[in-house]
Chain A
Amino acid sequence: MSGAAPAPRGRAWVFGDRVDTDQLAPGYAMRKPLEELAKHCLEAVRPEFARDVARGDIVVGGEGFGIGSSREQAAQALRFLGVSVVLAKSAARIFYRNAFNIGLPVMIVPEAGQIADGAQLEVDLAAGLVRDTTSGREYRGEPVPAFLLEIVADGGLIPNLHKRLHGKPAA
């Protein structure tokens, strides 16, 4: 592994079931550059999110997080805004793959529904553990496979491929 395994920590932003890609990256903003598109991220359900989210913050979803389009901007907008990890009861498969490919980890946490909005969380991706330092509770999720952690540590699939093709991840 070339980079350190990420250890996300930050404030929880809690959303419901089936946060879809049209909420994460609305069609009407899709021709705009990422920094503009990201301002519209989740505005249909939580207008203040893009303005108030801070670097390291954690998005918590319910079932089917990221369902809908294959548009990678759904994950990129979250990463651009500084989100360090998405925790969800389940995730749509294209979103799940896209997120890792652009360097944003996703962890499946069946008890994600018990996390309160605004809680401070610390996440151990390799162990599949979420520590809620606000409530003192701990939640067990599915450990992220090592080959996906390596892609995240490299900064995404492209730097990872660069490493495989040219021997070093910096592309």
Chain B
Amino acid sequence: MTLSEKILARASGRDQVRPGEIVTCKVDLAMMHDSGGPRRVAPYLERLGAKIWDPSKVVIASDHFVPPPDVDSAEILALTRRFAREHEIESFYDMQGICHVVLQEHAHVLPGMFAVGGDSHSPSGGAVGAFMVGIGATEMAGVLVTGEIWVRVPESWLIEWHGQLGEGLAAKDIMLFLCAKLGMSNDYKVMQYAGSAVTALSMMERLVLCNMSAELGAKTGIIAPDAWTLAALREGGHEVGDDALRWQSDAGARYERHLEFDAGALAPQVAAPHSPANSAPVAEHGGVRIDQAYIGACTGAKLSDLHMAASVLKGRKVAKGVRLLIAPASTLTTREAAADGTLATLVEAGAIMLPSGCGACAGYGAGVLADGDVCIASTARNFKGRMGSPGALVYLASPYTVAASAVRGTIGDPRDLLAMKAAA
């Protein structure tokens, strides 16, 4: 069996499962945020007269309406706090950052877990070797009441990236490339990422691969745990034994497709409006004038992302007429970026710092766009109207490429800026 099949077999209490089977799984962890969580599920629990099956398996993070820009948002956050208190949810992160990143920082998701999240980017949990899927609010209410959910066992695809990514390249480039290559309608598949270029990635970079499996239309993404996984979990405060490494695909596991790519041949990618699938090497969009550069979101503003941006921005200034907005993915990210000097580099360059949260990526928070605005963002999606006006044009790229474009004032390749620095 593949890693995913092993997890689903364990969670459904079977010796084995096959793709296509519908099984009922016990949920090891359920994650909710302020938008799709308590405000939506509380009325259902009340109607059903039911309690949460196991509050110790529930994590709540307020990250959408934060900090509240209006009274409606403030009321949603107040309701979220009341819900966490009344239902005795101890793992409640109030305005501490974006749920997927907070979950990983605090090592809530472990190898071999079957987890659900009330957000479409919940596949992020696959970075540690868990099977984590996104669900909607009504379904979350069902999980909270029963502790179970039905799942169709997906076909597994093995996506291997050999070699190593070049300087100025990131996990985001891999995913934008795959969105263009595979399209966005790979429904009901699980993407398992492997290969030397994948295992060389930090845990937060691995999160990007699993996170943006959502953009491929996949059910989820997953990466088998290794020594780095365990180190990250231990750093997050979780006592995890070496036996967690047993969560691997069998040697003879059957994959529906096996795709192999050369990481060394990959160029920085840019997705044109209005779809991540409109990705192409940065040269094809070079010279497009921008009004805004945005470094934010779960997939694009973790410490590793801020490091990428800082490596380009160090000693440089944001171009006149361009606004560079940066919303670190979590308060821990901000603390660490302050401690290691990254924050100083970003603001010296002219970046405008925003609070941690989903923010403008989802059109909820500060930094949304006006009609006709052109933006390049390190976020996961550029659907029409998502980041503000339907008349805005949003390009997607890695934090390296977003930062390089902010310096130039036009979309451009980060590699020559990085090389110039190395030569200086």
Contact = CB atoms under 8 A, between A and B. Distances in A.
A122 B364 CA distance: 39
A98 interface: yes
B163 interface: no
B414 interface: no
A98 B185 contact: no
Interface string B181-224: 00011011000000000000000000000000000010100000
Interface residues of B, number: 46
A30 B364 contact: yes
A86 to B, nearest CB: 14
A63 B44 CA distance: 32
B248 to A, nearest CB: 25
Interface stretch (B309-317, B384-392, B399-407, B415-423): B384-392
A102 interface: yes
A165 B145 CA distance: 10
B48 A158 contact: yes
Interface string A18-54: 1011110011101100000000000111000000000
B386 A70 contact: no
Contact of B120 (A18, A43, A68, A75): A68
B115 to A, nearest CB: 14
Nearest to B118: A70
A93 interface: yes
B146 interface: yes
A27 B136 contact: no
A22 B379 CA distance: 15
A72 interface: yes
A91 B219 CA distance: 12
A161 B48 contact: yes
B35 interface: yes
A97 B135 CA distance: 8
B2 interface: no
B74 to A, nearest CB: 11
A85 interface: no
Interface in A39-82: 43-45, 63-64, 67-72, 75
B229 to A, nearest CB: 26
B385 A69 contact: no
B36 interface: yes
A17 B275 CA distance: 12
Contacts of B83: none
Contact of B48 (A45, A64, A98, A171): A171
B119 to A, nearest CB: 5
B187 A90 contact: yes
Contacts of B40: 72
26 contacts: A18-B184, A20-B383, A22-B383, A23-B384, A23-B385, A27-B362, A27-B387, A31-B76, A44-B385, A67-B184, A70-B119, A70-B136, A71-B35, A71-B36, A90-B187, A92-B187, A92-B217, A94-B134, A101-B139, A156-B138, A157-B141, A158-B44, A158-B47, A161-B141, A165-B49, A165-B145
